[in-house]
Amino acid sequence: MIADVELGVLYFLAISSLSVYGIVLAGWSSNSKYAFLGALRSTAQMISYEVSIGLILLATLLPVGSLNLTYIVFFQEDLWLIFSQWVLFLLFFVSSLAETNRAPFDLPEAEAELVSGYNVEYSSMGFALFFLAEYANIIAMSVIITIVFLGGWLTIFSIPFSIIFIAKILFILILFIWVRTTFPRFRYDQLMRLGWKVFLPLSLFFFFVSLVLVSFSFFV
Protein backbone atom coordinates (compact mmCIF):
# COMPACT_ATOMS: atom_id res chain seq x y z
CA MET A 1 0.00 0.00 0.00
CA ILE A 2 1.08 3.55 -0.59
CA ALA A 3 1.19 5.59 2.59
CA ASP A 4 0.56 9.32 2.64
CA VAL A 5 2.47 10.46 5.72
CA GLU A 6 1.16 13.61 7.39
CA LEU A 7 4.65 14.82 8.37
CA GLY A 8 6.22 13.92 5.05
CA VAL A 9 8.92 16.56 4.93
CA LEU A 10 10.01 15.66 8.46
CA TYR A 11 10.26 12.00 7.39
CA PHE A 12 12.37 13.04 4.42
CA LEU A 13 14.76 15.04 6.61
CA ALA A 14 15.01 12.23 9.15
CA ILE A 15 15.90 9.55 6.63
CA SER A 16 18.35 11.76 4.75
CA SER A 17 20.20 12.55 8.00
CA LEU A 18 20.23 8.87 8.96
CA SER A 19 22.52 8.02 6.05
CA VAL A 20 25.33 10.06 7.64
CA TYR A 21 25.84 7.17 10.07
CA GLY A 22 26.63 4.77 7.25
CA ILE A 23 29.17 7.17 5.77
CA VAL A 24 30.89 7.73 9.13
CA LEU A 25 31.06 4.01 9.82
CA ALA A 26 32.44 3.34 6.34
CA GLY A 27 35.17 5.95 6.73
CA TRP A 28 36.09 4.88 10.23
CA SER A 29 36.07 1.13 9.76
CA SER A 30 38.30 1.07 6.68
CA ASN A 31 41.20 2.38 8.85
CA SER A 32 42.71 4.55 6.15
CA LYS A 33 43.67 8.22 6.43
CA TYR A 34 42.00 9.19 3.18
CA ALA A 35 38.78 7.38 3.94
CA PHE A 36 38.63 8.78 7.46
CA LEU A 37 39.26 12.37 6.34
CA GLY A 38 36.73 12.01 3.53
CA ALA A 39 34.13 10.68 5.93
CA LEU A 40 34.78 13.51 8.39
CA ARG A 41 34.48 16.08 5.62
CA SER A 42 31.30 14.69 4.16
CA THR A 43 29.72 14.34 7.61
CA ALA A 44 30.53 17.91 8.60
CA GLN A 45 29.25 19.16 5.26
CA MET A 46 26.02 17.18 5.33
CA ILE A 47 25.20 18.07 8.93
CA SER A 48 25.90 21.79 8.51
CA TYR A 49 23.83 22.05 5.35
CA GLU A 50 20.98 19.98 6.78
CA VAL A 51 20.38 22.81 9.25
CA SER A 52 19.89 25.35 6.50
CA ILE A 53 17.84 22.89 4.43
CA GLY A 54 15.46 22.36 7.33
CA LEU A 55 15.09 26.09 7.92
CA ILE A 56 14.53 26.80 4.22
CA LEU A 57 11.87 24.12 4.03
CA LEU A 58 10.18 25.59 7.11
CA ALA A 59 10.24 29.06 5.58
CA THR A 60 8.79 27.88 2.28
CA LEU A 61 6.13 25.74 3.87
CA LEU A 62 4.86 28.32 6.35
CA PRO A 63 2.26 29.67 3.90
CA VAL A 64 1.22 26.10 3.04
CA GLY A 65 0.61 25.22 6.67
CA SER A 66 1.24 21.49 6.22
CA LEU A 67 4.15 19.08 5.87
CA ASN A 68 2.10 16.58 3.85
CA LEU A 69 3.64 16.38 0.38
CA THR A 70 0.30 15.86 -1.37
CA TYR A 71 -1.16 18.89 0.35
CA ILE A 72 1.91 20.95 -0.58
CA VAL A 73 1.36 20.16 -4.25
CA PHE A 74 -2.37 20.92 -4.13
CA PHE A 75 -1.60 24.25 -2.45
CA GLN A 76 0.33 25.33 -5.55
CA GLU A 77 -2.58 25.01 -7.98
CA ASP A 78 -2.88 28.78 -8.36
CA LEU A 79 0.79 29.71 -8.13
CA TRP A 80 3.88 27.55 -7.89
CA LEU A 81 5.95 28.31 -4.82
CA ILE A 82 9.02 29.05 -6.99
CA PHE A 83 7.40 32.33 -8.10
CA SER A 84 6.61 33.58 -4.61
CA GLN A 85 9.70 32.07 -2.92
CA TRP A 86 12.35 32.20 -5.65
CA VAL A 87 15.13 33.33 -3.29
CA LEU A 88 14.46 30.34 -1.07
CA PHE A 89 14.50 28.13 -4.17
CA LEU A 90 18.00 29.33 -5.03
CA LEU A 91 19.17 28.81 -1.45
CA PHE A 92 17.63 25.35 -1.36
CA PHE A 93 19.19 24.37 -4.67
CA VAL A 94 22.69 25.40 -3.60
CA SER A 95 22.42 23.76 -0.20
CA SER A 96 21.07 20.58 -1.79
CA LEU A 97 24.18 20.58 -3.98
CA ALA A 98 26.23 20.68 -0.79
CA GLU A 99 24.02 18.12 0.90
CA THR A 100 24.47 15.56 -1.87
CA ASN A 101 28.27 16.16 -2.02
CA ARG A 102 28.06 17.32 -5.62
CA ALA A 103 30.32 19.75 -7.45
CA PRO A 104 31.19 22.58 -6.69
CA PHE A 105 30.98 21.25 -3.12
CA ASP A 106 32.42 17.78 -3.79
CA LEU A 107 35.15 18.18 -1.19
CA PRO A 108 34.78 14.66 0.23
CA GLU A 109 35.73 13.33 -3.21
CA ALA A 110 38.49 15.83 -3.98
CA GLU A 111 40.77 13.71 -6.17
CA ALA A 112 43.77 15.97 -5.70
CA GLU A 113 43.80 15.84 -1.90
CA LEU A 114 41.88 12.73 -0.89
CA VAL A 115 41.89 9.90 -3.38
CA SER A 116 38.18 9.26 -3.52
CA GLY A 117 36.71 10.17 -0.13
CA TYR A 118 35.13 7.71 2.28
CA ASN A 119 34.84 4.91 -0.29
CA VAL A 120 38.53 4.48 -1.22
CA GLU A 121 38.86 1.03 0.28
CA TYR A 122 35.66 -0.36 -1.20
CA SER A 123 35.99 -2.48 -4.29
CA SER A 124 33.08 -4.19 -6.01
CA MET A 125 29.53 -4.39 -4.71
CA GLY A 126 30.28 -2.18 -1.71
CA PHE A 127 31.40 0.56 -4.06
CA ALA A 128 28.37 -0.06 -6.27
CA LEU A 129 26.05 0.36 -3.29
CA PHE A 130 27.71 3.67 -2.33
CA PHE A 131 27.51 4.84 -5.92
CA LEU A 132 23.84 3.94 -6.23
CA ALA A 133 23.11 5.63 -2.91
CA GLU A 134 24.82 8.83 -4.02
CA TYR A 135 22.84 9.06 -7.22
CA ALA A 136 19.62 8.02 -5.49
CA ASN A 137 20.19 10.91 -3.09
CA ILE A 138 20.47 13.30 -6.02
CA ILE A 139 17.24 11.99 -7.50
CA ALA A 140 15.48 12.30 -4.13
CA MET A 141 16.65 15.89 -3.76
CA SER A 142 15.44 16.81 -7.24
CA VAL A 143 12.07 15.19 -6.54
CA ILE A 144 11.73 17.18 -3.31
CA ILE A 145 12.62 20.40 -5.17
CA THR A 146 10.02 19.55 -7.81
CA ILE A 147 7.32 18.88 -5.24
CA VAL A 148 7.99 21.82 -2.95
CA PHE A 149 8.87 24.52 -5.48
CA LEU A 150 7.82 23.48 -9.00
CA GLY A 151 4.32 22.33 -8.21
CA GLY A 152 4.84 18.57 -8.44
CA TRP A 153 2.58 17.02 -11.07
CA LEU A 154 0.50 20.15 -11.72
CA THR A 155 0.29 20.60 -15.48
CA ILE A 156 0.31 23.31 -18.08
CA PHE A 157 -1.28 22.93 -21.55
CA SER A 158 -2.95 19.68 -20.37
CA ILE A 159 0.16 17.51 -20.63
CA PRO A 160 -0.29 14.18 -18.78
CA PHE A 161 0.58 14.21 -15.06
CA SER A 162 3.30 11.61 -15.11
CA ILE A 163 5.12 13.08 -18.09
CA ILE A 164 5.24 16.60 -16.65
CA PHE A 165 6.34 15.30 -13.24
CA ILE A 166 9.23 13.39 -14.78
CA ALA A 167 10.10 16.31 -17.07
CA LYS A 168 10.41 18.64 -14.08
CA ILE A 169 12.58 16.12 -12.24
CA LEU A 170 14.79 15.72 -15.31
CA PHE A 171 15.11 19.48 -15.62
CA ILE A 172 16.39 19.73 -12.03
CA LEU A 173 18.72 16.76 -12.55
CA ILE A 174 20.22 18.33 -15.66
CA LEU A 175 20.64 21.55 -13.67
CA PHE A 176 22.66 19.52 -11.15
CA ILE A 177 24.89 18.17 -13.93
CA TRP A 178 25.18 21.55 -15.58
CA VAL A 179 26.44 23.08 -12.33
CA ARG A 180 29.01 20.30 -12.09
CA THR A 181 30.38 21.00 -15.56
CA THR A 182 30.66 24.75 -15.11
CA PHE A 183 31.89 25.58 -11.61
CA PRO A 184 35.29 24.85 -10.02
CA ARG A 185 35.55 23.29 -6.56
CA PHE A 186 35.22 25.43 -3.42
CA ARG A 187 37.82 25.52 -0.69
CA TYR A 188 36.78 23.86 2.56
CA ASP A 189 36.75 27.00 4.71
CA GLN A 190 34.77 28.79 2.00
CA LEU A 191 32.22 25.99 2.08
CA MET A 192 31.85 26.15 5.85
CA ARG A 193 31.62 29.94 5.82
CA LEU A 194 28.94 29.77 3.16
CA GLY A 195 27.01 27.23 5.20
CA TRP A 196 27.14 28.79 8.64
CA LYS A 197 27.62 32.52 7.98
CA VAL A 198 25.58 33.07 4.82
CA PHE A 199 22.95 30.38 4.41
CA LEU A 200 21.93 29.96 8.03
CA PRO A 201 21.32 33.70 8.71
CA LEU A 202 19.64 34.13 5.32
CA SER A 203 17.32 31.19 5.87
CA LEU A 204 16.50 32.43 9.38
CA PHE A 205 15.80 35.90 7.96
CA PHE A 206 13.48 34.52 5.31
CA PHE A 207 11.81 32.33 7.90
CA PHE A 208 10.89 35.44 9.89
CA VAL A 209 9.89 37.32 6.72
CA SER A 210 7.49 34.59 5.70
CA LEU A 211 6.26 34.37 9.30
CA VAL A 212 5.33 38.06 9.17
CA LEU A 213 3.78 37.71 5.72
CA VAL A 214 1.72 34.73 6.81
CA SER A 215 0.55 36.52 9.94
CA PHE A 216 -0.74 39.36 7.73
CA SER A 217 -2.25 36.68 5.40
CA PHE A 218 -0.22 37.86 2.43
CA PHE A 219 -0.20 34.55 0.57
CA VAL A 220 -3.84 33.51 0.78
Partner 1 sequence: MINLFFLESFCKIYIFHFFFFSLLNLFTFIKNFLYNTELLFQSSFLLVNQLIKLIELEEKILFFFFKFFKVLVLSLYFVLIYLLKLLIYCNFYMILLILPLLISVAYLTLVERKVIGASQRRFGPNVVGLFGIGQPLADGLKLFFKETILPTHSNKFIFFFSPIIVFLCFIKLVCYTFKIRVCDC
Q: Under DSSP, is residue 120 helix (H, G, I), strand (E, B) or coil?
A: coil
CB closer to partner 1 out of 11 and 196: 11
Residue 192, phi-psi category: left (phi > 0), alpha (psi -120 to 50), beta (remainder)? alpha
Half-sphere exposure of 178 (CA within 13 A, CB side): 8
Min. distance of Cβ 23 from partner 1 in angstroms? 6
Cβ at position 211, least distance to partner 1 in Å: 27
Closest separation between CB of residue 220 and partner 1, Å?
23
Measured from the CB atom, the residue of 24 and 204 that comes closer to partner 1 is: 24
Which residues form the interface with partner 1 (CB under 8 A)? Answer: 1-5, 8, 11-12, 15-16, 18-19, 21-23, 25-26, 28-32, 69-70, 73, 119, 121-140, 143-144, 147, 152-153, 161-162, 165, 173-174, 177-178, 180-182
Question: Count of CB atoms within 10 A of residue 197's CB?
Answer: 10
Q: What is the DSSP string of 73-96?
A: HHHTTSS-HHHHSHHHHHHHHHHH
DSSP code at position 85:
S
Q: Name which of 129 and 198 has its Cβ closer to partner 1.
A: 129
